[in-house]
Amino acid sequence: MDKINMTEIKLTQTVQKGGCAAKLPAGALREVLSGLKQNRPAELLVGHETMDDACLWDLGDGRLLVQTLDFFTPIVDSAFDFGAVAAANAISDVYAMGGKPATAMTILAFPSSVLPLEMIRPLMDGAMAVLNRAGIALGGGHTIDDDTLKMGFSVSGFVHKGRHWTNAGARPGDALILTKGLGTGTITAALKKGEASLPWIQGAIESMTTINDVIDAMAPFTVNAATDITGFGLAGHAMQMAEASGCGFLINPDSLPTLKGCFECLEAGHLTRAHTSNDVYTRAKVAWNLDGADAAKWTEVRRKLVVDPQTSGGLFLSLPAEQAADALKAIRSAGFVSAAVIGEVVPAEKMLDGKNLIFTR
């Protein structure tokens, strides 16, 4: 096959699925891996059991090592932008555990028979723009020749013990804050079809390349639980956090921050396979309790929104309700202007029929 001229390449056209929408379905993966035998030393404080964002290893000196890894296929057309999105997405998991990333290693699968090797430079330029902004040292990496382009990073960071966050500590009475708008999945699906307007694409890229560093902004506050919203959508990751915490979440769909163009894309049917798999994954634990003439409309459109697979989405934080207003102000001052309080945590026994996530006004 002849190589494509680099100036003519649209990366989204080289793959069938892109970004975090390319994840394997969470429910199927959980079933396949259940009962996996593994070594579990005492130093491993957080592993995969609660489907948290990264693992935590006790270094024994008051610090915890935060370790994570993420990679995926192109979700945007520009090599520079794809590298930046891949880096921002990978380092997000460290922030979601309350830590600061320190080092990264590149993971790159490159189709050298189709794409020019010169494209590796703008991919890495985009990634380095994000890693440098975050103060992260690139330590090296690994590349292979593959049929499709895939890029990501293994990331290590640190957090002081007792200041770390997990997805298992939400408490009844907490407020729930989401730091970024939803909609990257549907907008990039429209991009792949050539049906997304330039401002929508630019807004999604700006969101996906914004690093989730709210650690300093949140230092004065008590974060009881946290995760980042990625491929399983808001519903999937919120469901996991509620389950891990043994609580229920009430979320107001009218309060959800969104990216410009996401409703137009959803209503036009720009969906991914992950919209369906995320809906299947969450269906048994999620309920909609809406009243009035708009109930049917909200249920249809917002249900698609909350299962929209996010790439480099926002942080989802649970903290005492009395701190929420000041915390939200601090988060917005840190650059997350669309951040919003979207719900509250309630005791599990107040939920209906075994649900742990209810969208209600």
Report, as residue numbers or ranges, the catalytic residues. Answer: 20
3-class DSSP state for residue 301?
helix
Question: What six digits make up the tokens of 209?
Answer: 């390349």
Residues 175, 319: Cα–Cα separation, whole Å: 6
CA distance 313 to 179: 8
Pairing of strands 286-289, 55-58: unpaired
Say which DSSP state 5 is in. Answer: P
CB 311 within 8 A of CB 19: yes
Please state, in angstroms and rounded to a whole number, the distance separating the CA atoms of residues 155 and 31.
27
Nearest to 73 by CA among 130, 21, 128, 6: 21
Identify whether the C-beta of residue 171 lies closer than 8 Å to the C-beta of residue 345.
yes
- Which residue type is seen at 323? Q
Do 293 and 216 meet the contact criterion of CB atoms below 8 Å apart?
no
